[in-house]
Amino acid sequence: MQDWTFSRKKTVRFEGYKLLIDFPKTSSYYQNLPFIGEEEHCGCMYCRNYVEAILSFPESVQVLFHELGADLRKDAYVSHFFEDNKHYYISSYKVFGKILSKPELELIEIGNPNLEGYFKVGIQTIESSGNSVIDLYIKVELPWLLENETN
């Protein structure tokens, strides 16, 4: 007998992480969400600046989100910090699935020719939601891209 729920799951590997992802559930979750920076999400200038910078994110991260069925431009809980004249962000994305194995160093530093500063990705289980939801978070230093607006 075939377990249909099993066929929904797919294995995704990323920088030492091995994930079992519920692709249909993740992509349908993202489908109807507002974009980051829109009023429905949060229209503040920090969120809008984050969205502007997404096109400059490393290709491996763009590919990862595509494989997960997630959308970099949606959902994320975005935090902004301004320090030493630089804009730091932590953004957190929800993905349906679980972590099968993780690398020793859980926060992965990813080189990015498009951006100065660091770009890091980590993946963790959201404990309060059982073991079927994971949190993918990005720590990044971004340039200020919005015109006519400063911090």
Among 19, 21, 47, 95, binds Zn ion (CB under 5 A): 47
Among 44, 55, 63, 107, binds Zn ion (CB under 5 A): 44
Our CB check for Zn ion shows the closer of 82 and 100 to be 82
Our CB check for Zn ion shows the closer of 47 and 123 to be 47
Report the nearest approach of Zn ion to the CB of residue 62 (Å): 22
**Part of the chain binding Zn ion (CB under 5 A), chosen from 12-20, 44-52, 81-89, 103-111:** 44-52
Among 12, 42, 90, 115, binds Zn ion (CB under 5 A): 42
DSSP letters along the chain, please? ---HHHHHEEEEEETTEEEEEEHHHHHHHHHTSPBTTSTTT---HHHHHHHHHGGGS-HHHHHHHHHHT--TTBS-EEEEEEETTEEEEEEEEEEEEEEEE--SSSEEE---TTSSS-EEEEEEE-GGGTTSEEEEEEEEEE----TT---
Residues that bind Zn ion (CB under 5 A): 42, 44, 47
